[in-house]
């Protein structure tokens, strides 16, 4: 009997979020060396170093496995190739030569070292110039993403990241900062995952107190301005959600705008910001009554990806752990997707005690933290204590206000603008900040 020639195994790792001719070129070249196995990066693997992909793993897999050059698709759970390479032991590893520099440089070196062990070869076709998923993604962002895609992003982030990081945004410009800011630390691309539409900073921006005097229509019109220039998800601070009969209308407007989540707090009566010391006129809602609001949101939402987060104010109002836990159980059972356990202590002790106890419950759902007063807490400690979402609720407005006041003061003091000129962004930079073409 004639011995069948063994076909070589060729490994190609990719995200394949937006397929373009560069991917096809790589796969075509790879197929010339043998049978192509694509290691498709999972959502978690991708979001460990850059923005979560537009299409989820399942959708990307369907596309890639139907490309004629591809024999098989397997998940690649990390940015690092070593695990899959050891498992598959390919004769060839094919990757565009763009990974020689930048964030993937070390990943490449580790992959080379690994395949050397069984004599595997690295093939690096030249990177297709002027085309990349990032270029296409930027173009898409200019057009704007569909509200439906944006709504689902937060749930996907919660499912794929250790911790999802949200920052307060009170206008379109702060939205742009959150959208674009990147910081590379230890080979990881850090960025904010989304925006928080805060009742406090939205009201303050409009010169009003945080007592619901800025109505939802006005809040939604400012968040629409942020939505116009960003693609990341937005979490809406709805105070106590207002009247239960009005909730379906609010949810409809939020979903239509592309908002990913509503957070409602279990307080009643005239709204007072939770960080005020004096809370003596503030009342907490009966948990059973508040639970009805949660149910109402669940019934009225168009998409299950629109998350309802219940915010427990027990600690703010001086009540104990047992009250907070009892409420968490009730809110979870009535359909909440996550719990924001609020606190105005200087340390996270209180919320960690809550997390420890609630984690044991069969009704446990992901936890959200707002570290405004306990700002020393590190994200890694929040993760270790079971928190999945962190909201930095007011820092951009707090940064902007003293800077603006200082500039105004300097002009008054000096009788001219020269002194402050060197300390503020140059005119040239500000006119070029927003692209015109």
Catalytic (active-site) positions = 210
For ligand SPV, the binding residues (CB under 6 A) are: 198-200, 210, 237, 273-275, 370, 372, 393-394
CB nearer ligand SPV, residue 95 or residue 272: 272
Distance CA 358, CA 356 (A): 6
CB nearer Mg ion, residue 200 or residue 330: 200
Identify which of 369, 209, 225, 329 has the alpha carbon closest to the alpha carbon of residue 276: 209
The widest CA-to-CA distance across the chain, in whole angstroms, is 98
Q: How far is the CB of 262 from Mg ion (least distance, A)?
A: 12
CB nearer ligand SPV, residue 152 or residue 201: 201
Q: How far is the CB of 199 from Mg ion (least distance, A)?
A: 3
394 binds, among ligand SPV, Mg ion, none (CB under 5 to 8 A by kind): ligand SPV
**What Rg, from alpha-carbon coordinates, does the chain have?**
25
Distance CA 246, CA 240 (A): 12
Distance CA 255, CA 252 (A): 5
CB nearer Mg ion, residue 76 or residue 199: 199
Q: What is the DSSP string of 54-120?
A: SS-HHHHHHHHHTSTTEEEEEEE-SS--HHHHHHH--SEEE--GGGGSGGGHHHHHHHHHHHHTTT-
372 binds, among Mg ion, ligand SPV, none (CB under 5 to 8 A by kind): ligand SPV
For Mg ion, the binding residues (CB under 5 A) are: 199-200, 237
Query: By the 8 A CB rule, do 79 and 47 touch?
Result: no
48 binds, among ligand SPV, Mg ion, none (CB under 5 to 8 A by kind): none
CB nearer Mg ion, residue 12 or residue 336: 336
Sign of CA dihedral 74, 77, 81, 82: negative
Q: How far is the CB of 272 from Mg ion (least distance, A)?
A: 10
Q: How far is the CB of 393 from Mg ion (least distance, A)?
A: 8
Q: Is 152 helix (H, G, I), strand (E, B) or coil?
A: helix
Q: How far is the CB of 199 from ligand SPV (least distance, A)?
A: 4
């Amino acid at each position: 009997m004639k011995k069948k020639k063994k076909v070589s195994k060729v490994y190609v790792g990719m995200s394949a979020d937006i397929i373009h001719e560069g991917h096809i070129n790589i796969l075509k070249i790879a197929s010339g060396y043998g049978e192509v196995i694509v290691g498709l990066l999972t959502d978690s693997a991708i979001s460990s170093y850059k923005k979560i992909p537009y299409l989820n793993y399942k959708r990307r897999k369907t596309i890639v496995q139907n490309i004629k050059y591809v024999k098989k698709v397997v998940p690649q759970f990390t940015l690092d190739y070593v695990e899959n390479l050891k498992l598959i032991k390919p004769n060839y590893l094919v990757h565009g030569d763009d990974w020689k520099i930048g964030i993937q440089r070390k990943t490449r070196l580790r992959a080379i070292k690994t395949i050397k062990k069984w004599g595997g070869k690295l093939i690096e076709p030249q990177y297709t110039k002027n085309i990349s998923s990032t270029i296409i993604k930027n173009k898409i962002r200019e057009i704007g993403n569909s509200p439906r895609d944006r709504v689902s992003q937060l749930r996907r982030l919660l499912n794929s990241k250790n911790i999802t990081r949200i920052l307060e945004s009170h206008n379109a410009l702060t939205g742009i900062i959150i959208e674009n800011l990147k910081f590379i630390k230890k080979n990881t691309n850090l960025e904010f995952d989304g925006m928080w539409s805060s009742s406090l900073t939205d009201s303050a921006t409009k010169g009003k107190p945080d007592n619901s005097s800025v109505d939802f229509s006005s809040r939604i019109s400012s968040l629409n301005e942020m939505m116009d220039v960003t693609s990341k998800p937005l979490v809406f601070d709805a105070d106590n959600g207002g009247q239960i009969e009005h909730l379906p209308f609010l949810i409809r407007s939020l979903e239509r705008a592309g908002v990913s989540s509503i957070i409602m707090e279990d307080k009643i009566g005239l709204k007072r910001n939770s960080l005020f010391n004096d809370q003596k006129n503030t009342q907490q809602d009966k948990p059973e009554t508040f639970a009805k609001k949660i149910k109402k949101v669940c019934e009225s939402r168009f998409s299950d990806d629109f998350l309802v987060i219940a915010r427990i104010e027990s600690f703010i109002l001086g009540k104990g752990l047992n009250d907070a836990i009892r409420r968490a159980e009730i809110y979870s059972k009535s359909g909440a997707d996550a719990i924001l356990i609020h606190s105005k202590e200087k340390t996270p002790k209180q919320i960690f005690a809550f997390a420890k106890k609630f984690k044991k419950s069969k009704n446990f759902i992901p936890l959200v933290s707002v570290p405004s007063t306990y700002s020393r807490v590190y994200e890694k400690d929040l993760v270790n204590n079971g928190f999945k979402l962190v909201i930095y609720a007011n820092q951009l407005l707090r940064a902007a206000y003293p800077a603006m006041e200082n500039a105004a003061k300097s002009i008054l003091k000096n009788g001219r603008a020269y002194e402050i000129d060197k300390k503020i962004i140059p005119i040239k930079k500000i006119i070029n900040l927003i692209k015109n073409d």
